[in-house]
Amino acid sequence: MNYLELINKCLVELNYKQVNAFSELTKNEHKKLKNIINVLNAEICTSDRWNFLQRKKEITLPKNTSELENTIDGRIEALIVDGVKFEYYSDFEKFFVNSQPQNTYSLYNDKILLPMYNKDKKIEILYYTKNCAKSIEGMEKFALEDAEDCPLIPEVFAEPLLVYGTCMRLKGNPQHVRFSYWMSMYKDALANMRSRICPSIDETPSVKMYRR
């Protein structure tokens, strides 16, 4: 479901008139809807380690170099050198005097800091992209901007999350006749996404009950 379709779904829920073209979204309510959809989309994407945001990138660390330009467009999950996973070490100053713990990396001023090697090293980086949307051509972007842009959230979850969540936020009044319905549908969709989108069967959420 693309950006324009999401907005029109919101308009239906709110009993507003739908639009035929993106250029017709000129009213204040339209602008608020567009903004809330993007804010909500970004919040959901950054709220957990969703597997639909997982990405992998390979870069080369030249020999006799201990710094790399940080070109990772998101949050680093793992950094691997020669099959060994390096741990993040927050005390970046140690890297400048070569006194950091073994098999660690750090971040400083848009740089990735690593040990220095006497030959080139291939670095594998697993990360979660900060992008939350994609264009019709499949190019990832941070926000929904054009009519045919789509959220990165899987479509089966994107519609209830972004439509009901947006309507709930736009009205922001628990006394509204449909507020409880929107909240319930949003919470159910989020719970379903958490339970169904797991990187491993071992991480499937479960409920434990104990006898007293």
CA quadruple 34, 35, 41, 42: dihedral sign: positive
What tokens were used for 133? 């949307």
- Beta strands 140-141 and 67-69 are unpaired
Residue 35 φ/ψ, nearest 5 degrees: -70, -45
pLDDT values of the chain reduced to their tens digit, one per residue, 212 residues: 999 999 999 999 999 999 999 999 999 999 999 999 999 999 999 999 999 999 999 999 999 999 999 999 999 999 999 999 999 999 999 999 999 999 999 999 999 999 999 999 999 999 999 999 999 999 999 999 999 999 999 999 999 999 999 999 999 888 889 999 999 999 999 999 998 886 544 444 433 333 33
Residue among 4, 6, 3 at smallest CA distance from 159:
6
Tell me the pTM: 0.85
- Residues 27 and 113: their CA atoms lie apart, in Å, by 49
- Residues 118 and 195: their CA atoms lie apart, in Å, by 46
Residue among 96, 78, 95 at smallest CA distance from 87:
78
Q: What is the largest CA-CA distance in the chain?
A: 68
- Those residues whose C-beta lies under 8 Å from the C-beta of residue 110, and which sit 6 or more positions away, are 69, 70
